[in-house]
Structure 1
Amino acid sequence: MNPLQRTLIEKAGHDNGFEHVLAKEAAVVAMASARHQASAVVSVPPGGGFNVLFQSASPALLPELHRTFEGAATNVDSFSVTTVADLALLLRRAASLSQALPSQAAQDFQAEVAGELAKLPASVRGTEVERLVRQRVGQDRFRAAMLDYWGSSCALTNVSIPAVLRASHAKPWADCASDGERLDVFNGFLLCAHLDALFDRFLISFDNAGWMLVSPSISTKDGELLGLAHPLQLRWLAPEHATYLQYHRVRFTRTSNLETRSGQ
């Protein structure tokens, strides 16, 4: 690895979520970040390009990278790219996912809640004030994680206007058994506001292949006006979505049956 290659790799890391160089060995550049638990080891093969080996505390990171960069995968934990731009894209996606995936999101949430509560009188501990702080911080963290995971675009339509995107829970916040469930990036989808409203009220859901299910209580005319007339499918689904989607579909079916009976 020559000095120019090393400089390009370190800059790509610094600009795309791997700002700390851990080691400057002759043949590799090892990089990490204070913002997440993944590390990347980059080398330059004889034929050119870059080989990247990832290590992460989250078992979900590598499967997600394989889905996004299927053609670049050379092994379970390694990828090969040809240009600096490709390297930057791979590192940026790895960093974003590492910050969004469950273990890191939960740790960040606990640290931020502790910081917020430290600013308040000790008398609020265990009160409604603490609950509201935890909920506000958690919802902000969940939205940030969803934006990272879905690349700041609607999971269904690919719309990328931040002001109209909502982080939608499949298993509602109040129904979750733990903060881990509430902050799990697989417990929901990033959706446009009107789709979020429908999903939140169990008027739409998704099957195991990601195809939208529409409640029979939505009339054909309203469905057309809402853009639901044609089949819509999530951009992707991970296996980790399945449990939360199953929970949502049960509520969707129950709501649809109630709406149908009340309309008869």
Structure 2
Amino acid sequence: MNPLQRALIEKVGVDNGFEHTLVADEHDVTLASARHPTRSTISVLDAGFGVRFTSGSAALLPELSRGFPQAIRDQAGFVVGNEAALAALLRRAASLSRVLPTQAATSYRKALDEELSALPPGLAGTEIERMVRQRVGQQKFREAMLEYWGGACAVTGVAVPEVLRASHAKPWAECESDAERLDVFNGFLLTANLDALFDRFLISFDEGGRLVSSPSLAETDLKRLGIVPGLELRWVAPEHQSYLSFHRARFLLSVNQIADCQALASATQ
């Protein structure tokens, strides 16, 4: 690796979420960041660049493999063909590393400590503190979901932040820990209409990510809401499945309750 190649790699790192150079020698360059724990080690190959990631998240490499099918992956890491592909790979790795468990929860606790320290004395354990915790948590969850889904709806691909909502599959109040509440796999980034239906268990997603809707929703209303046959999640990671299973169970319970109410109403007419 010559000095020009080394300088190019360091510049790409700075521009794409890896602003610190830890090691630079004749073989490769190792980059890191103060904003996430992942490190990337980059070498120059005849075919382009070799990139190896060191991360505390087991989900990072599978997510990158899914998002970059054109990159060659083997036990040594990824091989990308040019500078633009290297930049895209590093940028996505940095984004994921800022939100994959447990980074979102860590960011939440830091922001929460700052907010709580600014409150007047005597408010610990009050409704005001609870509201602060929920507000900060929902803000951090939204930020994490925007990062994970690339700022676009998980179903439609709509990329208008003003109409996107961070929807929990397992509701905030029913989560057992902050890590579960802030887990990016516990929900989806959805347009407002999909979020409203998902939040009320009127739609859900099967194991393959295909959208399923409650029989209580009229076909005409579904069309008006832009819900048509064939809608599905842009992708489903293995880590989504337990949360999806929880949501589907509540969805089916809601469907059965509606059916029971309809049957009771018919019987009393």
Normalised by the length of structure 1, the TM-score is 0.96
Q: After superposition, where does 1:143-154 map in structure 2 within 5 Å?
A: 143-154=142-153
Equivalent pairs, count: 263
Q: CA deviation at 1:212?
A: 0.5
The one-letter code sitting in structure 2 at the alignment partner of 1:157 is T
Tell whether the 8 Å contact from 1:31 to 1:40 is kept in structure 2 after alignment: yes
Cα distance in 2, alignment partners of residues 220 and 30 from structure 1: 55
Q: CA deviation at 1:135?
A: 0.8
Cα distance in 2, alignment partners of residues 74 and 195 from structure 1: 35
The one-letter code sitting in structure 2 at the alignment partner of 1:156 is V
Cα distance in 1, alignment partners of residues 122 and 27 from structure 2: 56
Residue segments in structure 2 that go unaligned for 5+ positions in a row: 264-269
Q: CA deviation at 1:251?
A: 0.7
Q: After superposition, where does 1:86-235 map in structure 2 within 5 Å?
A: 86-235=85-234
Cα distance in 1, alignment partners of residues 120 and 203 from structure 2: 43
Per the alignment, residue 31 of structure 2 pairs with 31
Flag the 1:77–1:202 CA change in 2: closer, same or farther, 3 A: farther
Tell whether the 8 Å contact from 2:47 to 2:80 is kept in structure 1 after alignment: no
Cα distance in 2, alignment partners of residues 105 and 96 from structure 1: 11
Cα distance per residue 1:106-143 (max 9 Å; x no partner):
11111111111122234222222221111111111101
SS of the equivalent of 2:251 reads: helix
The one-letter code sitting in structure 1 at the alignment partner of 2:65 is H
The one-letter code sitting in structure 2 at the alignment partner of 1:117 is L
Q: CA deviation at 1:93?
A: 0.3
Identity of aligned residues (%): 57
Tell whether the 8 Å contact from 1:55 to 1:77 is kept in structure 2 after alignment: no
Tell whether the 8 Å contact from 1:62 to 1:76 is kept in structure 2 after alignment: no
SS of the equivalent of 1:10 reads: helix
The one-letter code sitting in structure 1 at the alignment partner of 2:25 is E
Cα distance in 2, alignment partners of residues 76 and 198 from structure 1: 42
Per the alignment, residue 61 of structure 2 pairs with 62
Normalised by the length of structure 2, the TM-score is 0.94
Per the alignment, residue 14 of structure 1 pairs with 14
The one-letter code sitting in structure 1 at the alignment partner of 2:14 is H
Tell whether the 8 Å contact from 1:32 to 1:39 is kept in structure 2 after alignment: yes
Cα distance in 2, alignment partners of residues 76 and 122 from structure 1: 54
Tell whether the 8 Å contact from 1:54 to 1:77 is kept in structure 2 after alignment: no
Q: CA deviation at 1:73?
A: 3.3
SS of the equivalent of 1:95 reads: helix
RMSD (Å), alpha carbons: 1.2
Cα distance in 1, alignment partners of residues 14 and 179 from structure 2: 30
Q: CA deviation at 1:190?
A: 0.5
Cα distance in 1, alignment partners of residues 185 and 91 from structure 2: 20
Cα distance in 2, alignment partners of residues 244 and 76 from structure 1: 30
